[in-house]
């Protein structure tokens, strides 16, 4: 039977996958078991359980985040980030397949990849402007939010090789993993947990809190960026544009940080 889409206040693209499970009936209601399962999937793919498990395993083999010189270890950050990216992507794929969903249809959609990529490039200046405005407003009206004088990750950019490696992590663990993760979590909220708008608020908040190590102001800005990329996915039903925008934004930030450090 056909069902009506919930009124979320966000446009749903015509290319939205139509393999929505029968448990989701358009009113947002779902069986308790399905909701609990969805909560478990969201938590599992949030990044916190996987990173905690990886940290424990790395500690068991003697790897620590601080090197012999007392500095943050680039090798540790790369290892942790890449392994976690692989785990999250694999988990999302397996969980989608387990419910009879098509990962490519859900994540990539059927829009032109070229046009989506160009849209992602066009959104990079928007993301940079958003960041500039947000930091400017907080600097003027809430300077106490600048709790970290220097981004700890910028101290890793001590050489061109380090910048290239960090750029690779920024694309794979930042752009790719986080946009796949975001799309999956937004979908589960849409199907079972109150709708995509609620999912956007919850995950954008969690996304920002995950960057508190860079400062409270950076956490707020990161949350805003996550909301931007989430809205693009909800409207386009494809991670291509958010992935391109996110990756290019990260690369610009790495380049600026490296040039500033050198």
The dihedral over CA atoms of 153, 154, 158, 164, expressed in degrees to the nearest 10, equals 70
Helix H, strand E, coil C: the string for 91-122 is HHHHHHHHCCCCHHHHHCCCCCHHHHHHHHHH
pLDDT on residue 212: 86
The tokens for 231 are 């809205």
Domains of the chain: which residue ranges? 32-261
| Alpha carbons 89 and 87: distance in angstroms, whole number | 6
Residue 262: predicted pLDDT: 66
How is residue 33 written in tokens?
A: 């078991």
Per-residue pLDDT 10s for the chain (262 aa) are 444 444 443 444 444 444 444 443 344 456 898 999 999 999 999 989 999 999 999 999 988 888 777 778 888 999 999 999 999 999 999 999 999 999 999 999 999 999 999 999 999 999 999 999 999 999 999 999 999 887 777 778 888 998 999 999 999 999 999 999 999 999 999 999 999 999 999 999 998 888 888 889 999 999 999 999 999 999 999 999 999 999 999 999 999 988 877 6
Of 249, 239, 244, 235, residue with least CA distance to 181: 239
Confidence (pLDDT) at 46 = 92
pLDDT score for 29: 53
With CA atoms as reference, report the closest residue to 27 among 194, 237, 176: 194
Most distant pair of Cα atoms in the chain: their distance: 64
CA–chain centroid gap for 255, Å, is 20
Token pair belonging to 16: 């939205």
What DSSP state is assigned to residue 6? P
**pLDDT number for residue 177:** 96
């Amino acid at each position: 039977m056909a069902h009506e889409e919930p009124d979320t206040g966000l446009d749903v693209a015509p290319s939205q996958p139509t393999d929505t499970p029968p448990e989701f009936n358009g009113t947002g209601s779902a069986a308790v078991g399905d909701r609990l399962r969805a909560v478990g999937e969201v938590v599992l793919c949030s990044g916190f359980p996987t990173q905690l498990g990886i940290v424990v395993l790395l500690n068991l083999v003697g790897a620590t985040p601080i090197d012999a010189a007392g500095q943050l270890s680039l090798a540790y950050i790369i290892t942790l980030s890449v392994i976690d990216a692989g785990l999250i992507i694999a988990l999302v794929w397996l969980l989608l397949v387990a419910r009879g969903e098509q990962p490519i249809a859900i994540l990539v959609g059927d829009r032109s990849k070229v046009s989506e990529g160009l849209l992602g490039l066009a959104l990079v200046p928007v993301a940079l402007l958003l960041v500039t405005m947000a930091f400017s407003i907080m600097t003027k009206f809430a300077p106490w939010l600048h709790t970290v004088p220097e981004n700890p990750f910028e101290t890793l950019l001590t050489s061109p090789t380090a910048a290239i490696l960090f750029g690779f992590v920024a694309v794979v663990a930042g752009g790719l993993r986080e946009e796949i993760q975001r799309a999956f979590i937004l979908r589960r909220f849409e199907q079972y947990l109150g709708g995509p708008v609620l999912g956007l608020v919850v995950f954008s908040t969690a996304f920002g809190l995950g960057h508190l190590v860079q400062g409270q102001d950076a956490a707020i800005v990161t949350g805003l960026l996550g909301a931007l990329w989430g809205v693009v996915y909800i409207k386009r039903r494809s991670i291509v544009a958010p992935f391109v925008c996110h990756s290019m934004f990260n690369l610009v930030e790495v380049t600026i940080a490296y040039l500033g450090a050198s």
